[in-house]
Amino acid sequence: MSERILVADDEEILRENLCACLRDAGHVVEGVADGESAYARLREGDFHLVIADIRMPRLDGFGLLKRIQDERPEILVLLMTAYSTVESAVDAFRYGAFDYLTKPVIFEDLLQKVRNLAAYGALRDEVRRLRRDVGARLGFEGLVGQSATLRSVFELVDKVAPTNATVLVTGESGSGKELVARAVHARSALRDCEFLAVNMAAVPGELVETALFGHERGAFTGADRRRTGILRGVHGGTVFLDEVGDLPLAAQAKLLRAIESHEVTPVGADRPVKAEFRLITATNKDLEVAVREGRFRADLYFRLNVFRLRLPPLRDRREDIPALVAHFCAVHCRAQHRRPLRPSDDAMRLLIAHEWPGNVRELSNVIERATILADGETLDPEHLPAEMRAGEPPTMGLRAAVEHFEASHIRTALALSRGNREQAAKLLEVDQATLYRRLARHGRSEA
């Protein structure tokens, strides 16, 4: 495997010998006499590997390594020194070198280390490529789509994930709020810690406090052993409380204190204990209305609403439906040990035109049902629920119905063309100016 290598060493004879040895092995090699020259050459050319002496004039090997890490972290660095001490080896790795070589250099050792680093670089590049490919197929931490509204969610996730801010995810049921929470966790410093998701609507009211904060043995009838509770049980990880609006008022007060002090008082305990966690909550309810009606504490609402992420319903991002359909076809067909289905054009039009009150969860269920019904390799309209094929009964006047159909038809064309207005206009058999006017009339401005 041929590599582009830069050798930096102030000993001219050694530098020339190193370059000759590496060229004989098939690599493209350049040599410079000091760290500053190496840095200047790196800014001009493209290299895979730098072999640098630690002790050089103008800029030593550690200084060069730091600049490479700051500006070109993809370049691998092999440091050399004539002082073969444990301390210098430790320093080389501590500063971020990928390998270490002592002088006098044994050329066979040098070539083996270069081969190892080349193999490592190739593997690293392959992993990155696979991650990009998986990301293109599966989206952002499982959130599939590239619509403008979903991309804005991705951008906000990337901004808030590295912080310790409390996040409130809002959106309709089935829109993917837990996936957003998992994306925040996966991009945070806690990514290697536990992520625990709890649906508060599924926890009986009398058990909420013991579930969240834990209890001592004997705290109540049936408490035959001590429980740690969710907030302490993640051991510094992320807790995701879905349907947080269903929390009883008494538990809300204790949760507020836990967030602010990172302490909880287990049921039956007489003193608080430390609880390290990051909190992400979600709801499909309007918490501001709940606050006004006295069903949710205002102070807790403001504490949870430090950073809000609103996940759009599927009907507002129809451009993503083709990608979601392909994703769910692959997922459900794989689960049934069959080849993925390909939706027909007629089936795709019906899927795009549907209002999806159940959002992405409903779409997944529809596709799972279709994969069971379909005998061949094509997903056709007859494999979709009857109500999707029959259409809705008339519930509006003719003019309003025409407007509704036109808006839906334009959304379908945009979705089929993946947001490309020029292609959408061709599908609709109108010019782009007409399409722009109709988009403005129907209150749509996104591409």
- Please tell me if the domain spanning 4-131 has the same topology as the one spanning 316-441: no
DSSP state at residue 392: P
**Is the pLDDT confidence value at 296 over 50?**
yes
Give the length of the chain: 447
**Is the pLDDT confidence value at 445 over 60?**
no
The pLDDT tens digits of the residues spanning 131-154 come to 545 544 444 667 888 888 888 999
The pLDDT tens digits of the residues spanning 144-181 come to 888 888 889 999 999 999 999 999 999 999 999 999 99
d(CA 152, CA 445): 15
Is residue 89 exposed (0-12), middle (13-18) or buried (19+ Cβ within 10 Å)?
A: middle
Mean of the per-residue pLDDT values of the chain: 85
**Is the pLDDT confidence value at 70 over 70?**
yes
Say what the pLDDT of residue 191 is.
85
| Whether 141 contacts 309, CB under 8 Å | no
d(CA 117, CA 101): 13
> Residues 368-372: what's their mean pLDDT?
94
Domain boundaries, the chain: 4-131, 148-312, 316-441
- CATH 3.30.360.10 holds for 148-312: no
* Percent of the chain whose pLDDT exceeds 70: 89
Say what the pLDDT of residue 135 is.
46
**Is the pLDDT confidence value at 202 over 60?**
yes
Q: Give every CB contact of residue 345 below 8 A, 6+ residues apart in sequence.
A: none
User: Any idea which architecture 4-131 has in CATH?
Assistant: 3-Layer(aba) Sandwich (3.40)
The pLDDT tens digits of the residues spanning 217-273 come to 888 887 788 888 999 888 889 999 999 999 999 999 999 999 999 999 999 988 888
Say what the pLDDT of residue 389 is.
78
The pLDDT tens digits of the residues spanning 302-331 come to 999 999 999 999 998 988 999 899 989 999
Task: Tell me the DSSP string of 78-135.
Answer: EEEES---HHHHHHHHHTT-SEEEESSPPHHHHHHHHHHHHHHHHHHHHHHHHHHHHH
> Residues 5-9: what's their mean pLDDT?
94
Q: Using only the alpha carbons of the chain, give its radius of gyration.
A: 30
- This prediction's pTM: 0.59
Q: Which fold has domain 316-441?
A: Helicase, Ruva Protein; domain 3 (1.10.8)
For the chain, first and last CA: distance in Å? 45
